[in-house]
Amino acid sequence: MADSNDPDDTPADRGGRLGTAGFIPAVVRSGRDAMSTEVALTVFRQMVRTRALEERGIKMSKSGEAYFWIGGPGEEAVNVCLGLQVNKGAGPAYDYLHLHYRNAGILLGMGMPMLDHVRQLAMTATDRHSMGRNFVGHYAMPEWNVVPVTSVIEVQMVMAPGTALMQKRHGGEGISIAVSGDAGTAEGDFESCLLWSSRPGNELPVLTVVTNNGYGISVTHDSQHAVKHIARRADPYGIRHETIDGNDPVVVWNAVARAMRYVRTQRKPFVLEAMVSRLHGHSSSSGAQRNWQEADCLALFEQKLIDGGVIDADQVAALREEAKAEADDAAVTVAGEPRPTPLDVPLGTYAPSAVDAVYPKDYTGLPQRRR
Ligand SMILES: Cc1ncc(C[n+]2csc(CCOP(=O)(O)OP(=O)(O)O)c2C)c(N)n1
């Protein structure tokens, strides 16, 4: 423990440094886990950005600028810590992402601008993920191996062993990351993922992340699952797992790092369950009102960083302003952008194929019906 009365106890002795506001520690701790101050500030800034984006999205859904809102307020710690540690790129040497619909923080952490999220939210023709034809948070980014997100929950779980098999054959340290809510694990796809990624002698590098917010829309976890922790369902398959406090970024950062290291190097699956909050209900369909009863990972982390002397209230306010301005600018930009037209419906639906050469003017590649 540092002794502030000891004249020989300098910031350098304590592994920290002096900032304008006083002593800044080198690390932020939670129990046995630690995170460097630099990483903590990066995580915090991305969490602030993610929250600002979601709050703007909720407002847009209420004002009619967006059709529907769903997202991850309450899951920022998990999503940002995951996104910042993804090895992003295209092809089997890099990580594949099989996501859920609450993962804006993952993509912001990876470097996606807010505008790319807001365009899909506003369903503009400029939406890079789906040309304005899909719900918000349904990303698709081939250059970062982000496999298209579907509204049909849990199908991502059966796709992950597929990309992982290809990655194992390819060699290297690329892994397949599948993210799911807790209720989605009631679908058989979850068990299929566990089974196919743990075949003896044919284990696959799949990192399953379950964000357990205690609900499936209006169904409580306890009324559906006899097993208290979803991660325990990995036991019969011999899959390693961990259940963590998803509201503590220091804990999450380290758990993600450990899990990723294991899956990357051992080429075997791992299930990480993060207990998280649902701060605005399920979606705009249920009103998206703020639930003040649940723990807020962002507020908790902010207080921890202030108490620890890592950041001060003015710096927090400046980060919030910066994030809000980025979200506001994105909302203004999309307001002036075109919406898809009926003629856009078939665009990008089918990949070009040899059949297109036979019927070049027909996007389906099928013969036109004679009139
Ligand atoms: C196959 C399928 N069944 C049902 C639904 C309807 N549905 C959409 S979200 C949802 C709840 C999912 O809860 P959970 O997996 O815990 O994720 P959360 O929304 O809580 O993050 C359901 C049942 C769906 N989209 N797809």
What would the pLDDT profile of 71-103 be if each residue is shown by its tens digit? 999 999 999 999 999 999 999 999 999 999 999
- DSSP-assigned letters across all residues of 242-284: EEEETT-HHHHHHHHHHHHHHHHHH---EEEEEE---TT-S-G
Ligand 1 touching residue 213 (CB < 6 A): yes
pTM: 0.91
Structural domain harbouring 138: 31-280+294-338
The rounded Å distance from CA 101 to ligand 1 centre is 9
Residue 1 within a domain: no
pLDDT of residue 371: 43
Residue 333 within a domain: yes
Q: How far apart are CA 28 and CA 32, in angstroms?
A: 11
Mutate to test the pocket of ligand 1, among 150, 156, 217 (most ligand atoms within 8 A of CB): 217
Q: Are 48 and 76 in contact (CB under 8 A)?
A: no
Give the phi and the psi of residue 101 in degrees, each rounded to 5: -95, 10
In terms of pLDDT, which residue wins out, 256 or 365? 256
Number of domains making up the chain:
1
> Using CA positions, which residue lies closest to atom 26 of ligand 1?
152
Strands (E), 174-333: 176-181, 206-212, 215-216, 219-220, 240-245, 270-275
Residue 77 within a domain: yes
The rounded Å distance from CA 219 to ligand 1 centre is 10
Q: Which tens digits make up the pLDDT trace of 2-41?
A: 333 444 544 455 567 766 657 778 999 999 999 999 999 9
Residue 45 within a domain: yes
Secondary element (H or E) of residue 96: strand 96-98
Ligand 1 touching residue 366 (CB < 6 A): no
Ligand 1 touching residue 182 (CB < 6 A): yes
> Using CA positions, which residue lies closest to atom 23 of ligand 1?
216
Residue 359 within a domain: no
CATH number for position 42: 3.40.50.970
> Using CA positions, which residue lies closest to atom 7 of ligand 1?
153
Q: Which tens digits make up the pLDDT trace of 193-221?
A: 999 999 999 999 999 999 999 999 999 99
> Using CA positions, which residue lies closest to atom 17 of ligand 1?
181
Q: How far apart are CA 335 and CA 333, in angstroms?
A: 5
Enumerate residues 6+ apart whose C-beta is below 8 A from 214.
182, 220, 221, 278
Residue 362 within a domain: no
The rounded Å distance from CA 153 to ligand 1 centre is 5
pLDDT of residue 346: 76
Q: Are 155 and 99 in contact (CB under 8 A)?
A: no
pLDDT of residue 15: 67
364 pairs with which residues across the strands?
A: none
Residue 285 within a domain: no
209 pairs with which residues across the strands?
A: 179, 272
